[in-house]
């Protein structure tokens, strides 16, 4: 697998401030930036800064450590993303809620409809690792507190996720807020999501 190379990443939307290197990326969010499509809230938000690279490799994993110590306002978030277009994408992050808890979760958007799967975690968690894995047009998102032991968050199918895709990182502040997210320890590996060894395909 190729080494992680920041020069291969491109912005879908620029943040208000950023600094980029292979070892460390910092993104400072603008207020009222988000990714969401339709479901439940009946609004469409498509203005979060997204930094991605393209690949047609069908089997790989992307790992990154996120530091969101500066998040402080409801829905401040940062994490991994696969943004194909405004109506087809997925993301995983920790979203600040209040002084009592925050949401560790993921959103999958297929053909313009988003879902949101979450679990509550303590607000003293200020870093999180993610591993994004691809097996053709199926995807797995995992998280880890230490970058060693990963726990599955979601397995999903992306209807437009075959062939060439774009994947990377994002950060945003859906309400009237701004914070600086830090991304480190980025690497691309062989697919850590192993082939299923149970029931055979139809």
Is 80 exceeded by the pLDDT of residue 2? no
Which residues lie closer than 8 Å to 174 by C-beta, 6 or more apart? Answer: 32, 33, 34, 36, 45, 74, 75, 77
Task: State the Cα–Cα distance between residues 155 and 151, nearest whole angstrom.
Answer: 12
- Reduced to 3 states, what is the DSSP secondary structure of residue 85? strand
User: Which neighbouring-strand residues pair with 179?
Assistant: none
Dihedral sign for Cα atoms in the order 39, 42, 48, 51: positive
Contact by Cβ (8 Å): 54, 189: no
Class of domain 6-189: mainly beta
* Mean pLDDT (the chain, rounded): 96
- 116: pLDDT strictly greater than 90: yes
Taking phi first (over 0 means left), then psi (-120 to 50 degrees means alpha), and beta for anything else, what does residue 185 get? left
pLDDT tens sequence across 183-200: 999 999 999 999 988 888
**DSSP conformation letters of 138-175:** EEEEEEESSSSS-EEEEEEE-TT-SSSEEEEEEEEBSS
Say what the pLDDT of residue 122 is: 97
CB 113 within 8 A of CB 88: no
**Main-chain phi, psi angles of 6, to 5 degrees:** -60, -25
Q: What is the pLDDT of residues 26-79, one digit of tens each?
A: 999 999 999 999 999 888 999 999 999 999 999 999 999 999 999 999 999 999
Whether 1 shows a pLDDT value over 70: the answer reads no
pLDDT of residue 202: 74
pTM of the predicted protein model: 0.96
């Amino acid at each position: 697998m190729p080494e992680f190379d920041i020069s291969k990443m491109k912005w879908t939307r620029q943040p208000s401030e950023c600094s980029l290197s292979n070892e460390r990326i910092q993104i400072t969010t603008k207020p009222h930036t988000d990714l969401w499509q339709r479901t439940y809230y009946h609004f469409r938000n498509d203005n979060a800064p997204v930094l991605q690279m393209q690949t047609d490799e069908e089997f790989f994993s992307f790992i990154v450590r996120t530091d969101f110590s500066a998040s402080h306002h409801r829905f401040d978030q940062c994490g991994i993303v696969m943004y194909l277009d405004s109506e087809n994408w997925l993301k995983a992050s920790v979203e600040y809620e209040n002084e009592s808890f925050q949401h560790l979760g993921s959103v999958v958007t297929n053909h313009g409809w988003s879902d949101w799967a979450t679990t509550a975690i303590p607000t003293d968690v200020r870093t999180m690792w993610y591993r994004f894995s691809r097996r053709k047009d199926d995807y797995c998102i995992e998280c880890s507190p230490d970058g060693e032991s990963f726990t599955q968050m979601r397995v999903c199918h992306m209807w437009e996720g075959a062939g060439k895709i774009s994947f990377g990182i994002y950060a945003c502040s859906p309400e009237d807020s701004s914070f600086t997210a830090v991304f480190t320890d980025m690497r691309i590996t062989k697919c850590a999501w192993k082939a299923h060894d149970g029931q055979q395909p139809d």
